[in-house]
């Protein structure tokens, strides 16, 4: 299962003024096909007029966002730079956000004014179907460890991993997509971090829990 959290719109990011990643969104209907970074499909419909799982849309650069609220402009700016990735079936053109009481739902609903025609499809290559889905071994995670699994609030922990055969690696929850073989995190409460290693052949995962006292 692909991690959900890295693709969510999060209030703290919006309040800080910048979202630095693509957002996940849903469509009511999808194709029995996928394009990276997706590693699965969720449909039995083979119509080529439908979107494959993993399709990335980007808000056109010339779309005027000046009449939206400052917070919605943060979201729309991210959609211009990073776009959004179709990650599941659901309501059409629905961007998924992390639950937070600080959201202004009435304001967020104004994002619905943006029509699908305001987006462009980022090149999809390759598109996998049941006829050409690659065969091979999923990435191997030899280790995923923390240098300290019991800390006090405010302390940092280094997560380290050894992975082979992966196209990309994600640590969830934050920081999300990572490079190299380690990353520093500062959980404020007991947190289970999961490392997802993905390639065209599938996905592997491993978890470690940091207890915060």
Give the residue extent of every domain in the chain.
Answer: 5-121, 140-212
Residue with tokens 């599938």: 202
pLDDT digits (tens, 9 = 90+) for 143-194: 999 999 999 988 999 999 999 999 889 898 888 888 899 999 999 999 999 9
pTM here? 0.69
Give a three-class secondary structure readout of 47-58.
CCCCCCECCEEE
CA distance 159 to 80: 32
Q: How do residues 76-107 score in pLDDT, each as one tens digit?
A: 999 999 999 999 899 999 998 988 999 999 99
Q: Which top CATH class is 140-212?
A: mainly beta
């Amino acid at each position: 299962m692909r991690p959900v959290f890295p693709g969510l719109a999060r209030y703290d990011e919006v309040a800080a003024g910048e979202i630095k990643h693509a957002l996940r969104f849903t469509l009511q209907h999808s194709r029995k096909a996928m394009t990276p970074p997706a590693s699965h499909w969720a449909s039995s419909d083979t119509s080529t007029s439908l979107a494959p799982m993993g399709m990335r849309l980007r808000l056109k650069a010339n779309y005027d966002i000046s009449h939206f609220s400052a917070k919605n402009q943060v979201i729309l700016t991210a959609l211009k730079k990073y776009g959004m990735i179709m990650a599941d079936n659901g309501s059409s053109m629905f961007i998924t956000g992390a639950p937070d009481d600080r959201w202004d739902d009435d304001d967020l609903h104004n994002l619905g004014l943006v029509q699908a025609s305001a987006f462009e499809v980022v090149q999809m290559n390759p598109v996998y179907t049941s006829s050409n889905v690659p065969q091979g071994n999923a990435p191997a995670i030899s280790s995923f460890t923390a240098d300290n699994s019991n800390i006090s609030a405010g302390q940092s922990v280094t997560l380290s991993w050894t992975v082979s055969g992966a196209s990309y690696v994600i640590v969830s929850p934050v920081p999300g997509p990572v490079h190299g073989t380690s990353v520093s995190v500062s959980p404020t409460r007991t947190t289970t971090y999961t490392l997802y290693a993905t390639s065209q052949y599938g996905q592997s995962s491993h978890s470690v829990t940091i207890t915060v006292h």
